[in-house]
Amino acid sequence: MTSQVIQKDASLSWVDRLKAHIAILRIDNWTKNVFLLPGIVIPLTVRHGVSSSLFLHLILGTISVCLVASSNYVINEILDAPYDRLHPAKNMRPAARGLVNVPLGYAQWLLLMLAGVGIGSYVSKFFMASVVALWIMGCVYNIRPLRTKDIPYLDVLSESVNNPLRMLAGWYMATDTLIPPASLLACYWMIGAYFMALKRFSELREFADEKRAAAYRRSFLRYTERSLLVSVMFYASSAMLFFGAFLIRYRIELVLTFPLIALVMSVYCHIAFEPNSAAQHPEYLYRNKPLMICTISCALAMLALLIYRVPALHGIFTPTLPAW
């Protein structure tokens, strides 16, 4: 396999090389930056008035996050190439096929980070700190000696930290005066862990051979389908606990969205059981119509309830003293 890769690499034209280096940016994965939106919307529904620089900050901030995310994808592609060759689908990635010039890839990784952080510095210092943290977590997840992606459970928790970091980035695009609630950030973290654990579950089901699964991802030495599903329940429960803490203190109207949130999570769990599931390829989830209908309905309901109050709910959920 190695000799074939080297031979193919040596015969590449500059056009093929360029296409490979563009491909490892994983531009289609920029759809994950939709997780910026709640961080943008929530402070805008609280603060009074919109600053004249908001639109510029949204543009620069989005570009910054996309570039830093691509920097993380590049290092992931380079360092995971030997393991991706063992995966039934990921073995077609450019680096796994030997199409990427590794020294150029490392330069690409650093330049994308510098460009992303540099652009982010024009938004605010808090935003820039968020994208720097996003890049650092990419290093923690992919690069030895830490490489948390090889450690069971820590792989899920460290990767899903990107969710609250994206929320922080979106938050600081919209404001640099309001402080994001810790309960909401914790909820976002656990929701990310829920999605990531289901991705691991779906990946594990693709391998008929346990040894091949463990060779592809070391954490699969310790994972089983049962243990992953148990962790999924933990993450889902934790996410809803933190979401409940957030809405009780800040926006009780959002309690009405609980059924829609539960529906989205249930549909996503169902998807994870499908062969070659879209849960393994989140960039293609938009093609799943039931999930998109549920997600959009939930998002619209949340947006409406962030804008409009329901006074009756405040009376229903007002704490009462015990009769003793």
User: What is the structure's pLDDT at 149?
Assistant: 93
Other C-beta atoms closer than 10 Å to the C-beta of 224 total: 12
Average pLDDT over residues 89-111: 93
Q: What's the mean pLDDT when you consider all of the chain?
A: 90
User: What is the structure's pLDDT at 214?
Assistant: 85
Cα–Cα nearest to 23, from 62, 76, 59 = 76
User: What is the structure's pLDDT at 87?
Assistant: 82
Cα–Cα nearest to 69, from 8, 132, 4 = 132
Count the alpha carbons within 13 Å of 263 in the hemisphere toward its beta carbon.
15
Six-digit token string for 224 = 């089983």
Which comes out higher in pLDDT, residue 5 or 56? Answer: 56
Count the alpha carbons within 13 Å of 247 in the hemisphere toward its beta carbon.
20
How far is Cα of residue 240 from the mean position of the Cα atoms in its chain? 18
Q: How confident is the model at residue 50 (pLDDT cuts 50, 70, 90)?
A: low
* pLDDT tens sequence across 264-308: 999 999 999 998 898 988 888 888 999 999 999 999 999 999 989
* pLDDT tens sequence across 190-201: 999 999 999 999
* pLDDT tens sequence across 201-257: 999 998 877 788 888 888 999 999 999 999 999 999 999 999 999 998 889 999 999
* pLDDT tens sequence across 20-41: 999 999 999 998 888 899 999 9
Average pLDDT over residues 182-189: 96
Give the DSSP letter string of 151-193: STTHHHHHHHTHHHHHHHHHHHHH-SSSPPPHHHHHHHHHHHH
| Overall pTM surpassing 0.95 (yes/no) | no
Residue percentage of the chain with pLDDT more than 90: 67
CB 149 within 8 A of CB 142: yes
Q: Does domain 16-180 have CATH number 1.10.357.140?
A: yes
Q: How confident is the model at residue 112 (pLDDT cuts 50, 70, 90)?
A: very high
Whether 2 shows a pLDDT value over 80: the answer reads no
